[in-house]
Structure 1
Amino acid sequence: MKNFKNLLIAMLMITTSTIFAQAKLTGVVADETGPLPGADVIVKGTTKGASTDFDGIFTLDVDSGSGTVEISFMGYTTQTISYNVSNGETKDLGTIVLQPSSVGLDEINIVASVAIGRKTPVAVSTIKAAEIQEKLGNQEYPEILKTTPGVYATKQGGGYGDSRINLRGFNSENIAVLINGIPVNDMENGRVYWSNWAGLSDVTSSMQVQRGLGASKVAVPSIGGTINIVTKTTDVERGGKVMASTGNDGYQKYGFTLSTGLMDNGLAATISASKTTGNGFVDGTAFEGYSYFANISKKINDAHKISFTLFGAPQEHDQRTTRVKIEDYKESDRGIRFNPDFGYKNGKEFNVRRNFYHKPQASLNHYWNITDDILLSTVAYGSLGTGGGTGLLANDNEGRAITSDIYDFSKTDYRFGLYQPINFDKIVDNNISRGDLGSNVIRRASRNDHNWYGVLSNLNANLNDNWVVSGGVDFRYYKGIHFREVEDLLGGQYYVDDSNVNNPYNRAKVGDKIAYFNEGVVLWEGLFGQLEYDDEDLSAFVSGAVSQTQYKRIDYFNYLDSDPEQETDFQNFIGFSIKGGANYNIDEHHNVFVNGGYFEKAPNFDAVFRNFRNIINEEAENQKILSFEIGYGLKLEKFRANVNLYNTEWKDRTLVKSIPEPNGENSFANLTGVNAVHQGVEFDFTYNPTEKLGFKGMVSVGNWYWKNDIRDVQLFDGNQNPVGDPINVYIKDLKVGDAAQTTASLGVNYEIIKGVKVSADYTYFDKLYADFDPEDRDKASESGVNSWQLPSFGLVDLGLRWKFNIKSLDATLNANVNNVFGTEYVSDALDGSGHNAQTAGVYYGAGRTFTVGTKIKF
Structure 2
Amino acid sequence: MKKTTQFLLMAVAMLFTTAIIAQSTITGTVIDSELNTPLPGANVVEKGTSNGVSTDFDGNFKLTTQATAGEIAISYVGYGTVTVAFNGSANLGNITIKPDNSLEEIVIIGSGVIDLAEDRKTPIAVSTIKANRIQEKAGNSDLPELLKSTPSVHTTQRGGFGDGQMFLRGFDQTNTAFLLNGQPINGAEDGKMYWSNWSGVLDVAQAVQVQRGLGSSKLAISSVGGTVNIVTKTIDKKEGGFIQQMIGNDGYTKTSASYSTGMSEKGFAFTALLGHWRGDGYVDHTEGQGQTYFLSFGYKVNDNHVLNLMLTGAPQWHAAAGSADLIDFLEEDRGRRYNSWNATNVDSPNNLASGVYPGGRNIYHKPVANINWDWNINDKSSLSTVLYGSLGRGAFVQSQFSSGVATYARGSNNNHNWYGLVSNYNNELNENLSFNVGADVRLYNGVHFRSVNEFFTVDSVSDSSIYNGGAYEVTKAYGGINPWNILFNTNDDHAQRLHPYYDYEEDINYLGVFGQIEYSKDKFSAFFQGSASTQSHVRTEYGNSSTEGKGEKSETVNNPGFNVKLGGAYNINVNNIVFLNTGYYSRQPYHSDLFIDDRGSNQLNPLSDENQKITGIEAGYKYIGEKISANLNLYYTIWDNRIDYDSEDTDDDNIADVFYSTSPIKQVHMGGELELFARPTDNLELQGFLSVGNWEYDGDVTLIKTVEGGGAPVEVGTSYIDGAKVGNAAQFTAGIGAKYEILPRFKVDANWNQFDKLYGNANYGGSEFSNPDNRGSIELPSFDTVDLGLSYKWLLGKNDQNSLQFRLNVNNLFDEVYLEYSDENKHVEAGDESWKGVNVENRVRFGYGRTWNFSLRYNF
TM range (shorter): 0.7 to 0.9
1:708-727 mapped onto 2 (5 Å cutoff):
708-711=699-702, 714-722=704-712, 726-727=716-717
Q: Quick check: 1:28–1:95 contact (8 Å CA) kept in 2?
A: no
Q: 1:207 to 1:660 in 2, by over 3 A?
A: same
Cα contact 2:612–2:639 (8 A) shared by 1: yes
**SS of alignment partner, residue 744 of structure 1:** strand
In the alignment, structure 1 residue 763 sits paired with structure 2 residue 753: yes
Whether the 8 Å contact between 1:484 and 1:514 is mirrored in structure 2 is: yes
Give the aligned partner of residue 292 of structure 1: 293
Distance 1:647 1:328, change over 3 A: same
Deviation at 1:561, TM superposition (A): 1.6
Aligned to 2:11: none
Counterpart residue number, 1:62: none
SS at match of 1:131: helix
Deviation at 1:319, TM superposition (A): 1.4
**Residue 445 of structure 1, CA deviation:** 1.1
1:42 Cα deviation from its structure 2 partner: 5.8
**Residue 34 of structure 2 contacts residue 98 of structure 2 at CA under 8 Å; is this kept in 1?**
no
Verify: 1:614 aligned to 2:617, yes or no. Answer: no
Q: Distance in 2 between matches of 1:525 and 1:271?
A: 33
The alpha-carbon distance between structure 1 residues 662 and 518, as it changes in their structure 2 partners (threshold 3 A), is closer
- 1:375, distance to aligned residue in structure 2 (A): 0.7
Alpha carbons 1:298, 1:305 under 8 Å: kept: yes
Aligned ranges 1:803-842 → 2 under 5 Å: 803-808=793-798, 809-831=802-824, 836-842=838-844
The 10-residue stretch of structure 1 (554-563 or 663-672) with the greater mean CA deviation from structure 2:
663-672
Do the aligned partners of residues 218 and 777 (structure 1) sit closer, same or farther apart at CA in structure 2, a change above 3 Å counting?
farther
2:554 paired with 1:568: yes
In the alignment, structure 1 residue 336 sits paired with structure 2 residue 336: yes
The answer to whether the Cα contact below 8 Å between 1:255 and 1:274 also exists between their aligned partners in 2 is yes
The correspondence of residues 512-527 of structure 1 with structure 2, limited to 5 A, is: 512-515=496-499, 516-527=502-513
Q: Is the 8 A contact 1:377 1:459 kept in 2?
A: yes
1:304 aligns with 2:305: yes
Q: Check if 1:673 corresponds to 2:675.
A: no
Deviations, residues 155-195 of structure 1 (Å, cap 9, x unaligned): 11x21111111101111111110111111111110111111
SS in 2 for 1:142: helix
- Greater CA drift, 687-696 or 546-555: 687-696
Counterpart-to-counterpart distance in 1, 2:36 and 2:266: 32
Cα separation, partners in 2 of 1:242 and 1:666, compared to 1, 3 Å: same
Matches within 5 A, 1:468-617: 468-502=434-468, 504-509=470-475, 510-511=477-478, 512-515=496-499, 516-561=502-547, 566-612=552-598, 613-617=601-605
Letter in 2 for 1:649: I
2:657 and 2:445 map into 1 onto residues whose CA distance is 27
Q: Take 1:311 and 1:500, find their aligned partners in 2: how far apart are those partners?
A: 41
1:641 and 2:630 correspond? yes
For residues 787 and 298 of structure 1, do their structure 2 counterparts lie closer, same or farther at Cα, with a shift above 3 Å needed? same
The one of 126, 129, 137 equivalent to 1:127 is 129
In the alignment, which residue of structure 2 is the partner of 1:238? 239
Structure 2 counterpart of 1:376: 383
The whole-number CA distance in structure 1 between the counterparts of 2:464 and 2:547 is 16
Structure 2: segments with no counterpart, 5+ residues: 1-26, 39-58, 62-73, 348-353, 479-495, 829-837
Per mean C-alpha deviation after superposition, the further-off stretch among 385-394 and 624-633 is 385-394
Q: Hey, what does 2:48 align to over in structure 1?
A: none
Amino acid at match of 1:338: Y
Task: State the distance in 2 between where 1:307 and 1:241 align.
Answer: 22
Alpha-carbon distance change, 466 to 723 in structure 1, aligned in 2, over 3 angstroms: closer
1:100-499 matches, cutoff 5 A: 105-116=107-118, 119-156=121-158, 158-320=159-321, 322-344=322-344, 345-346=346-347, 348-393=355-400, 427-428=404-405, 442-499=408-465
In 2, the alpha carbon distance for the partners of 1:113 and 1:216 equals 5
User: Which amino acid is 1:547 matched to?
Assistant: S
The answer as to whether partners of 1:121 and 1:540 remain within 8 angstroms in 2 is: no
Q: Report deviation, 1:702.
A: 0.9
Please give the alpha-carbon distance, in whole angstroms, between the structure 1 residues aligned to 2:60 and 2:265. Answer: 27
Give the stretch that moved more between structures: 181-190 or 494-503. 494-503
Change in Cα spacing, 1:84 to 1:223, as seen in structure 2 (3 Å) is closer
Q: Contact 1:298 / 1:306 at 8 angstroms: preserved in 2?
A: yes
**Do the aligned partners of residues 202 and 562 (structure 1) sit closer, same or farther apart at CA in structure 2, a change above 3 Å counting?**
closer
- 1:847 is the counterpart of 2:833: no
Tell me the distance in 2 between the aligned counterparts of 1:705 and 1:103.
40
- Partners of 1:569 and 1:30 in 2: CA distance: 62
In the alignment, the residues of structure 1 paired with residue 216 and residue 85 of structure 2 have an alpha-carbon distance, to the nearest angstrom, of 41
Q: Is the 8 A contact 1:638 1:689 kept in 2?
A: yes
Cα distance change of structure 1 residues 777 and 333 upon mapping to structure 2, 3 Å threshold: closer
Of the structure 1 ranges 296-305 and 308-317, higher mean CA displacement relative to structure 2 is found in 296-305
Q: Distance in 2 between matches of 1:568 and 1:215?
A: 37
CA contact (8 A) 1:473 1:526 kept: yes
Q: How high is the sequence identity, in percent, across the aligned residues?
A: 37
Letter of the 2:535 partner, please give it: T
Equivalent-residue separation in structure 1 for 2:262 and 2:528 (angstroms): 39
Q: Distance in 2 between matches of 1:687 and 1:495?
A: 65
Could you tell me which residue of structure 2 aligns to residue 51 of structure 1?
Answer: none
Aligned residue for 2:13?
A: none
Aligned to 2:19: none
Q: Which moved more, 1:367-376 or 1:336-345?
A: 336-345
When residues 75 and 260 of structure 1 are mapped into structure 2, their CA distance, relative to the original with a 3 A threshold, is farther
CA deviation after TM superposition for structure 1 residue 658, in Å = 3.4
Distance, in Å, in 1 between the alignment partners of 2:119 and 2:744 is: 29
How big is each residue's C-alpha offset from its partner over 1:684-732, in whole Å with a ceiling of 9 and x where there is no partner? 1112211111211111111111101124x55221122247654222211
Query: Structure 2 vs 1, CA of residues 593 and 427 (structure 1 numbering), >3 Å: closer, same or farther?
Result: same
Contact 1:118 1:585 in 2 (8 A): no
Report the Cα offset of residue 581 of structure 1. 1.2
Note the residue ranges of structure 1 that are not aligned, 5 or more in a row. 1-26, 45-67, 396-425, 432-438
Task: Supply the distance in 2 between the matched residues of 1:77 and 1:167 (Cα, whole angstroms).
Answer: 27
Decide which moves more: 143-152 or 384-393.
384-393
Deviations 1:741-766 (A, max 9, x none): 11111111111011101011011111
Equivalent residues of 1:544, 1:576 under 8 A apart: yes
